[in-house]
Every structure is written in C-alpha cells, then in structure tokens.
Amino acid sequence: MPRLDQFLASLGYGSRREVRSLIAAGRATVRGAPAADPGEKISDDDEVQVDGQPLDHPDGLLLMLHKPAGLVCSHDAREGPSVYDLLPPRWRRRHPPVTSIGRLDKETTGLLLLTDQTILVHRLTSPRHKVPKTYRAGLDREVTAAQAEEITAVFAGGTLVLDGEREPCKPAELRWRDPRSAELILHEGRYHQVRRMFASRGCTVVSLHRERFGPLELGGLSPGAWRELPMDFFSREDGAGPGDGKPAPAVHRGKQIHPRQP
C-alpha cells in the first residue's frame, strides 16, 4: 500500500514536497475526512479526493492518439516538441511516466498508443506479441506492375535483411493502392522499418501514416486528438475494446503545438 503523499505525487499532483503542503492545507480527503498524515497508507478501496474532486485516473491511463506530423515520441526536450506536450500537465507529471507503446518517427502520422502501464508497453512491444500494425506509405515515384509484384514478394518472403541487421524481417503483407502508394502490415517493429524496407527496393517513403494497431483504428479522431481506452482493453479475449456495447469514451483535443521548423 502506498503512502498518501507518494500516491498523489505518482498521479501528477506535484512533487512530494508540493503534495505534502497540499495535504497540510487540508485539500486532500481520505474516506471523506481531511487527511492529516502524508504517510497514511492508502488501499485500493479508500476514496481519496483533492479539492473536493475524485482523483485523476488513479487506475492508470491508456490512450489512443492521432499523432500529427512534426512531434517526436521522446521525453527528451532537446529533441523538440513531443507528443507528450499534447497532454494535460498533470498527466505529464505522472510516475511511471505516460509513454508511447513503440514509437513513430517525427514525420509519421497516425495511431499511437500511450500509457503509464510499464507492463503493457513491454508486452505490446515484445517480439513475441506479434500485434499487426498497418501503415500507409506514399513513395517518391511510381513503380511498374513488375516492380510492385517483386517488392510484394520480397516483403512477404521473410528473407529481407535490412542494412546493418542479421535477422531477416518477418513476412509482411503489402497491398498496392496505386503505383506510388501502398498499405503494409507488419508484425514486428524495428527502427524506421517501413522506410528501410522500401529503401532496400530503391524507393523513398515520402509520407507515412499508421492506420491500425491490432484491432484499433483511428476512426474519426483528428490529428492531435486522443481517446481514452479501457485499461483492460488488451487483456480482453476478443481485444475488441470500445464498440462492445459500452459508450465510446470521450475524445479530447490536445493543446495546439507548433512544431519547430527543421
């Protein structure tokens, strides 16, 4: 059981010191009574409030974000504006931190999952968990029908070894939409994988968008907006998530970020 001050600090209510002064000011209640002891042990059943409000996501966060272009998936401020800048300040102060499940490149757009559940990050990024991810790639040039066929066969073959690697890529499905764009389904996630796979066939990816992650798709989410998912979304047997009869969780718009020009 965590201490009250530790618990509130982990949910982003401030540093341990800030949380202790919040408690000293009588702003926190436990089971309806003002909390006096910052070291009080809190159990799952205890109703804790701050400023008369229930706690902000005490059981964790799992979000589906439509990542806009120009933001990095990094907590290092030196890398520029990040997807985390879109989130409310309290969520950015949580411990463990809210982090992405896998990464998308700065210029890649589309479906990105964010969570503070370290176990879920490990589970869904582990090579053993072969969750399919669907990307739409735009190329710098048109390919001929014969080239398209060759590229499709190479990607499906499970023998393509990327520059600097030893292990071949797992078989991937490629569906051409037109001579310069295609949908690619990967069952793994390597560094710049889509761009490097096409580069191995002499094509440069000029636009990249992740359309699906496992059973999830963005639907009507606009760039910069996110939707909360139930914490047990990926433990459900059907993995169906929202759309199982429960109302869809609300959509939130992140604050406007103006990515720095390169």
Q: Which is nearer to ligand URA, 21 or 204 (CB)?
A: 204
**Residue 43 CA neighbour count, 13 Å, CB half:** 2
Give me the least distance between CB of 143 and ligand URA, in Å please. 18
Catalytic residue among 105, 116, 140, 163: 105
In degrees and rounded to multiples of 5, residue 190 shows phi and psi of: -105, 165
Shortest reach from residue 252's CB to ligand URA, in Å? 23
Tokens at residue 166, please?
A: 């030893």
- In whole angstroms, how close is the CB of 117 to ligand URA at the nearest point? 22
* Distance set, CA 13 to CA 76, 85, 252 (Å): 21, 17, 21
Question: Residue 259: is it exposed, middle or buried by C-beta count within 10 angstroms (0-12/13-18/19+)?
Answer: middle
Task: Give me the residues that bind ligand URA (CB under 6 A), please.
Answer: 104-105, 108, 192-195, 208
Identity of the residue, 92 or 192, whose beta carbon is nearer to ligand URA in the bound complex: 192
The answer to whether residues 159 and 168 touch, using CB atoms and an 8 Å cutoff, is: yes
* Calpha distance 243→133 (Å, rounded): 20
Please report how close the Cβ of residue 34 comes to ligand URA at its closest, in angstroms: 49
CB of 63 to ligand URA, least distance (A): 18
* 45-to-1, 23, 30, 42, 58 alpha-carbon distances in Å: 11, 20, 10, 8, 11
Active site residue 178: no
Rounded Cα gap, residues 149 and 47, in angstroms: 61
Q: Cα(66)–Cα(220) distance, rounded to whole angstroms?
A: 10
Shorter beta-carbon distance to ligand URA: residue 42 or 112: 112
Nearer to ligand URA, 94 or 195 (CB): 195
What residues act catalytically?
105
